[in-house]
Amino acid sequence: MGNKRLCTLCLLILTLAGFVCANTNAAQSVEGTLTKPASRLGTLILQTKDGIKSVLTSKNVKVQRGQLKLNAKDISLSQLHCGDYIAATLNSEGRAFVVKASFDFLNGVLVKCEGRALVLGNDKRVKLAENARIFSRGGSLGTLADLKLKSNIACILNPLTGEAWEVYQTSPEPVATPLPSVKPKITSLQYSPLGEINTGDTITVEMKGSPGGKASFEIRHLTALISMKEITPGYYRGVVAAVSAISGVPLLGYLSAGGAMAPPMQAGRLVTIGKQVDSAANSVPSAVDIMPEPPAAKPITDVPQTNAPKVTPAPPPQAQIKVPVINVSKQPEQAQEMEQIVLKAPQDGAIIKSAITVIGKASPDSKVSLSITYTNGLMGLLKLSGNVAVQTVAVGKDGVFRMSPIALDGPLATKGLRFTIKAYYTDRTDHGAAISVVTGGRM
């Protein structure tokens, strides 16, 4: 009887052990660095902490790839890159049915090469993997000797080891200073005064765009190109005198940087210059000014001399002059001009550590639309860009408007992302736009 109970207990233990093993195999996963492209049969060769491991994939395997801490995209097995860090989930047959690949990147100006390490600007140091591939600007495969000092390079990194598995040279020749990662552009162009402009007035033109460039403007049919001065990085200003009257002509702005020309931008308002008003023409005439002079007395000649008493002729009657009464109290009211929008925070060029908080000034009791976009300034597969928020806010009676803070979490926490904040009137022809460009520096 005792032996029978013992056999039953052993059978129960073996059954439970098999169930546990089956569930353990179903949830098994493998992680490591992809050392070779996926084979035609879907086999992945991974360098794991326990050595080289081959992983077979299932027929309907789901594959995703993306930059570390950012959203991944669905791809095919053939689009995986050597050096990607792979996390594969296996089914009960030991085949991967989910494959997630991640990578990181770093770009900058090549300062020097130290063996198998690249030193970039700001003391960034990148170690090359043993099987690292180096590409020229045209996309052809090269060697470490083909990398030119002071040229721009971009590195695809393994997020676990930090080693570069792919290096792209993005500028063909060495440059004294880093070339802009994107083509220069003008983000806003406006001029003042906002109201009526007369000959003799001074016109001030303000432009925002790529920093470190050469800016100029012209008023068509009135001026030649006029140079502008960069007051702060990316903010340019120029002045011109309104020398003659003109009606409804465009004001155009131009900007060049790094040997490239930005698309010209036209100001939102056409320029109209009136003639200078003569103050004497608008003065109220006095009675003395409009009263005619009395006619001069005609001399009397050839009058015979008599002893008759001298009669003094009566003076001529004075003309009744009506002085026109001009009512100067009822002058036509000028249309109230809306104030130019000013972004108080964050200031242009600021480094944002934790959250973007927008504060600005505009016309009291108006409405201002705010939009925030982001980009990493790269192109192709490395490009990251999108919209953060679009919101319309009410301006208080004190002329201040605010936007709720936007935390730099998730993808927005990537260091080096550039955020463009734009504020503008939606019900105004020139919008009165104000723009601020800041950089995320959380990580």
Q: Is this prediction's pTM over 0.75?
A: no
Q: Residue 221: what pLDDT?
A: 85
Q: Residue 44: what pLDDT?
A: 92
Condensed to tens digits (0 to 9), the pLDDT of residues 360-395 reads: 999 898 888 888 888 887 766 677 778 888 888 889
Q: Residue 48: what pLDDT?
A: 92
Position 410 in a domain: yes
5 alpha carbon, distance to own chain's centre: 78
Position 391 in a domain: yes
Instruction: Give the domain CATH number at 442.
Output: 2.60.40.10
| pLDDT mean for each 10 residues of the chain (443 residues) | 59 58 61 88 89 90 88 88 92 91 89 88 86 81 84 89 88 51 85 85 92 92 90 92 88 89 89 69 45 50 50 54 45 54 89 90 89 79 77 90 85 83 74 81 64
74 and 58 share one domain? yes
Helix (H) / strand (E) containing 107: strand 96-114
214 and 238 share one domain? yes
- Beta-bridged to residue 208, according to DSSP, are 188, 235
Parent domain of 52 = 23-103
361 and 378 share one domain? yes
Position 321 in a domain: no
**CA 424 → CA 157, 192, 244, 401, 421, distances in Å?**
40, 17, 32, 12, 10
345 and 403 share one domain? yes
356 and 369 share one domain? yes
Condensed to tens digits (0 to 9), the pLDDT of residues 228-250 reads: 999 999 999 999 988 888 888 89
Position 256 in a domain: yes
Residues 390-428 as b/e (b if ≥16 CB within 10 A, e otherwise) read eeebebeeeeebbbeebebeebbbbeebbbebbbbbeee
Number of domains in the chain: 4
Instruction: Give the domain CATH number at 84.
Output: 2.40.50
443 and 346 share one domain? yes
Condensed to tens digits (0 to 9), the pLDDT of residues 153-163 reads: 889 999 988 99
Average pLDDT of the chain, as a whole number: 79
Position 27 in a domain: yes
Position 395 in a domain: yes
Q: What letter represents residue 176's amino acid?
A: A
